[in-house]
Amino acid sequence: MKKVILSIAALGVMSFTTNQLYYGTQLVWAISNLNDMQEYIHEDMVNGKIDEATAENYNELLDETQSFIQDFYEKQCR
């Protein structure tokens, strides 16, 4: 009986850890995507496709979103 309980507990821990790694990986990719978007915005501003004020507004929103993701990552995935 003890072996069964230990086996179930071990599977539960492994399952939980796997989900944390998956979520952590997804959040890291999300932050990478936000950084890519900020580069695209900068390029568009330099090329005159958008004005500086619009670029600044977009970057502020992306920075805020990145902060939300990092806060969640720190609280839920570490």
52 — phi, psi (to 5°)? -65, -40
For residue 2, pLDDT over 50 is answered with no
Q: Give residue-wise pLDDT tens across range 59-71.
A: 999 999 999 999 9
Selection from 3-12, 20-29, 30-39 with the highest mean pLDDT: 30-39
Whether this prediction's pTM lies above 0.95 is answered by no
- Give the Cα separation of 74 and 71 in Å (integer): 5
Cα 41 from chain centroid (whole Å):
19
